[in-house]
Amino acid sequence: MDQQYSAMRSNVSMLGKLLGDTIKNALGEDILDKVESIRKLSKSSRAGNKAQRQALLKTLQNLSNDELLPVTRAFNQFLNLANVAEQYYSISPHGEASSNPEVLANLFARLKEKRFTNKVITKAIDELSIELVLTAHPTEIARRTLIHKLIEVNSCLAQLDHDDLVDYERNNIMRRLRQLIAQCWHTDEIRKNRPTPIDEAKWGFTVVENSLWEGVHG
């Protein structure tokens, strides 16, 4: 199982390193050190270290007003990038689908064991009704500009997965990743106004173009 997730962990680590470089370039090493300290204390605290938990709480309580926003944004951006890596992993050659290609076969085998006939299974499949609802709720704060950049980050991860890349191609992809992560950092993440019906329609088209056409085969 650890081997299956190694590619995803590697991507998360790489994206986190690139984000750290961006934060250092934008705000200086002091903020990056603060973020790293909180990250390490959080990890130890989650593992049950009570002393580290108290140190974490003290560190958070002592953050100045000027530090609160960049530290919060740093962890938010890291979670965005980690989610991209996880989503890519789920569909990549290293992902769960490739490591367990017999999911449907196993499902039908279990149904057979429970004495469901082919007729019953076929009828249940024929009667399936799947409806897609595309909406942009007013509380949705992620901006489309940021989402488009994260989609391109996903594309870069896919390109890096090619075994036949030469050095200059890999370097170009890494350069583009650095640019995208820097752009994500400098993008205002908070939507200032409620989305209009036209905004909602555009968001729906974005989902169709970037998700459905990729996931649903003709």
Q: pLDDT value at position 105? A: 82
E-assigned strand segments in the chain: none
Taking only the tens place, the pLDDT of each residue in 102-120 is 777 888 889 989 999 999 9
Residue 139 pLDDT: 45
Query: Does the structure show a pLDDT above 50 at 201?
Result: yes
Percent of the chain with pLDDT over 70: 79
Are 12 and 82 within 8 A, CB to CB? yes
Does 137 participate in catalysis according to the annotation? yes
Cβ of 82: how many Cβ atoms within 10 Å?
Answer: 18
- Helices 2-27 and 167-185, axial angle in degrees (round to 10): 60
Q: In the structure encoding, which two tokens stand for residue 213, read together?
A: 């056409």
Smallest Cα–Cα separation from 151: which of 78, 88, 73?
88
Judge contact between 18 and 27, C-beta under 8 A: no
- Mean pLDDT of the 77-81 span: 94
At 188 the pLDDT is 77
Task: Give the model confidence (pLDDT) of 116-167 as tens digits.
Answer: 999 999 999 899 988 877 665 544 555 678 888 998 999 999 999 988 999 9
Domain spans in the chain, listed from the N-terminal domain onward: 2-99+132-215
Q: What is the pLDDT of residues 3-43, one digit of tens each?
A: 557 888 999 999 999 999 999 999 999 999 999 999 999 99
Asked if 181 and 153 count as a contact pair (C-beta separation under 8 A), the reply is: yes
- The dihedral through the CA atoms of 150, 155, 160, 166 has a sign that is negative
Catalytic residue, chosen from 94, 137, 186, 217, is: 137
- Return the number of other C-beta atoms located less than 10 Å from residue 8's C-beta: 21
